[in-house]
Amino acid sequence: MLKIYKTEEQIIEEREQLEEGVWVQMTSPSMEESQKIADYFDIDITDIRAALDDEESSRIELEDGYTLILVDIPSIEVNHDVETYITVPLGILLTQGAIITVCTEETPVLQHFVKRRVRDFSTKKKMRFVYQILFQTAALYQSDLRIIDKKRTAIEERVGENTEDEDLIDLHSLESTLVYFATSLRANGVVLDRLSRYTRLKQYPEDQELLGDVIVENKQAIEMTSIYRDIINGTRELLSSILDNRLNNVMKYLTSITIVMAIPTVISGLYGMNVNEKWMPFANTANGFGIICLLTLVICLLTLLILRKKKML
C-alpha cells in the first residue's frame, strides 16, 4: 500500500501525485509500487525493500542522492490468540525532494503523524520529521515496557496457591521480549549516535535539541528494559522456588502417608508368617484379632502425632 502526504500550514493532507516536499508512506508495498518510487526518486529498489526483511539490522547508509535509515520499532504479534511483543524494521529514506517510510505493517509510530497528534510536524522539514519518528519510536518502546511490567505484576500478585506452570511460561515469554527490545534499542542507539554527526541535510537548532531528547528517551528505554528484565528474572526464580517447594511438600506428605500405611502391612505380614502360633503374641488369646487391630491403630496414631510434630504432615 502506498500513500502520499504533504503538510500545508502544519495541516497534513493526502495527495494523489508525487511532488516536491511530500511524505511517501509505504506499508508492505508490492514490487510494482517499490519500482515506481525507485524510478521516480532514483533510488535502488533494494534499499526501498530492505525494511521488508525482518532480519535487517538497524543502520544508516549514505548513498548518492539519498540516505537510508533503518531502525527497529516495537510491534504486536498474535499467535494462538496470545499477544506477544516483537520488533520490526522501519525504513526511512531521505531524498532532496521527499521523505519515504517503508514498513511491513501499520504502526502507531507513523499513525500519530497521520492523525495529527504531533506538534510542529512538517513533511518539508525532513530531519525534524526523522527525529520526530525516532522520538515516537522511543516513546512506544517505553509504553510497551510499562505494559510488560503490568503483566509481570499481575503474575506476581498470583504468587502462592494460585501459582501455575503457565505463569513461568508467560514470564519466560516476557523476558525473551525484553531481550529483543534491549538488542533493538542498542542498535537504534548506534543509529542515533551517527545521526548526531549527520550534516548532509539542512538542520535547524531546534532539530538538534529534538535529537538530544530522542537520545535521552532511547537511553531511558534501554535502562527500563534492563531493570524490568532483572525484576522478571527475580520473579521467575521466585515462582520456580514456590513450585519446587509445593512439589516437595506433596512428596513429604506422600512419604508420611506411606510410613503410616506401612505399619499395618508389617504387622499383618508378621502374623501371616508360617511359624508356630504359640510364639505369636495374642495368637491364642480371646479377641486377639481385635487387640492386634487396636494396637496397630494406636501405633499408627502415635506415628501420625510424631510426624505432625516434626512438621511432616
In which residue ranges of the chain is CATH 3.30.460.20 found?
2-245
Flag whether the pTM goes above 0.85.
no
- CATH annotation of 2-245: 3.30.460.20
- For position 91, what pLDDT does the model report? 93
Burial of 278-290, coded b for 16+ CB within 10 Å and e otherwise, reads: eeeeeeeeeeeee
pLDDT at 201: 66
Long-range contacts of 108-113 (CB under 8 A, 24+ apart): 108/136, 108/140, 109/73, 109/133, 109/136, 109/137, 109/140, 110/25, 112/136, 113/5, 113/12, 113/23
- List, in sequence order, the alpha helices (H) in the chain: 31-41, 45-48, 108-114, 126-157, 165-195, 205-271, 288-309
Ramachandran assignment for 30, one of left (phi > 0), alpha (psi -120 to 50 degrees), beta (any other): beta
- Indicate the CATH number for domain 256-309: 1.20.58
Tell me what pLDDT residue 162 has. 65
Structure confidence at residue 218 (pLDDT): 94
According to the model, what pLDDT value does residue 14 have?
86
Whether the CB-CB separation of 92 and 100 falls below 8 Å is answered with yes
User: Which residue carries 531502525 as its cell?
Assistant: 71
Instruction: Kindly give the confidence (pLDDT) of every residue in the chain, 313 residues in length, as a single tens digit, with 9 standing for 90 and above.
Output: 898 888 887 788 888 888 888 999 999 999 999 999 998 888 989 989 998 988 888 989 888 888 999 999 999 887 777 788 889 999 999 988 889 999 999 999 998 888 888 888 888 888 888 999 999 999 999 999 999 999 888 888 877 666 666 777 888 888 888 999 999 999 999 999 988 887 766 677 778 888 899 999 999 999 999 999 999 888 888 777 777 887 888 888 888 888 888 988 888 888 777 777 777 787 777 788 888 889 889 988 998 888 888 777 7
- Predicted pLDDT of residue 54: 85
Domain with CATH 1.20.58 in the chain: 256-309
Q: Are 236 and 171 in contact (CB under 8 A)?
A: yes
Q: What is the pLDDT of residue 101?
A: 94
User: CB burial class (10 A; 0-12, 13-18, 19+) of residue 59?
Assistant: middle
What pLDDT does 159 receive? 72
